[in-house]
Amino acid sequence: MTRKNSKISIVIPIFNSEKTIEQLVNRLVGILPQPLEIVLSNDGSRDDSDAVCRALQKKYPHIVVYVELSKNYGEHGAVMAGLTHSTGDYVVIMDDDFQNPPEEVLKLVDEAREHNHDVVYSAYPVKNDSWFRNLASRLNGFMATILLKKPRGLYLSSFKCMNRFLVDEILKYTGPYPYVDGLIFRVTDRFGVVEVKHDKRTEGESGYTLRKLLRLYMNMFVNFSLLPLRCSTFLGFIVTFFSLIFSVYIFFSKLLNPDMPAGWATTVILISFFAGVQLVVLGLAGEYVGRIFLSQNKTPQFCVRNIYKGE
- Interval 25-83: pLDDT, tens: 999 999 999 999 999 999 999 999 999 999 999 999 999 999 999 999 988 999 999 99
Concatenated DSSP letters for 96-162? SSSSS-GGGHHHHHHHHHHTT-SEEEEE-SS----HHHHHHHHHHHHHHHHHS-PPTT----S-EEE
Give the mean model confidence (pLDDT) for residues 99-127.
90
pLDDT of residue 114: 94
Write down the pTM of the prediction.
Answer: 0.75
Answer whether 71's CB lies under 8 Å from 96's CB.
Answer: no
299 SS3 class? coil
pLDDT of residue 156: 82
Give the mean model confidence (pLDDT) for residues 82-101.
93
d(CA 242, CA 146): 27
**pLDDT by residue (tens digit) across 156-215?**
888 999 999 999 999 999 888 888 988 998 899 999 999 988 766 565 555 555 566 666
pLDDT of residue 215: 66
Give the mean model confidence (pLDDT) for residues 109-126.
91
What integer best gives the mean pLDDT of the chain?
Answer: 81
* pLDDT confidence tier of residue 117, bands split at 50, 70 and 90: very high
Share of the chain above pLDDT 90, in %: 45
pLDDT of residue 229: 64
pLDDT of residue 97: 83
Q: What angle do CA 246, 248, 249 make, to 5 degrees?
A: 60
Which residue, among 143, 140, 225, 215, has the nearest Cα to 177 in the 3D structure? 215
pLDDT of residue 197: 85
Q: Sign of dihedral through CA atoms 295, 78, 109, 36? A: positive
- Res. 109: pLDDT tops 60: yes
Which residue, among 41, 34, 25, 120, has the nearest Cα to 74 in the 3D structure? 41
Give the residue ranges of DSSP H helices in the chain: 21-31, 49-59, 75-84, 105-114, 131-147, 164-170, 180-187, 210-218, 227-256, 264-296
Give the mean model confidence (pLDDT) for residues 131-138.
60
Give the mean model confidence (pLDDT) for residues 83-101.
93
pLDDT of residue 59: 96
pLDDT of residue 5: 75
pLDDT of residue 99: 83
Answer whether 171's CB lies under 8 Å from 79's CB.
Answer: no
CA distances for 190 relative to 109, 137, 158, 184, angstroms: 14, 22, 17, 10
- Res. 263: pLDDT tops 70: no
pLDDT of residue 43: 94
pLDDT of residue 136: 62
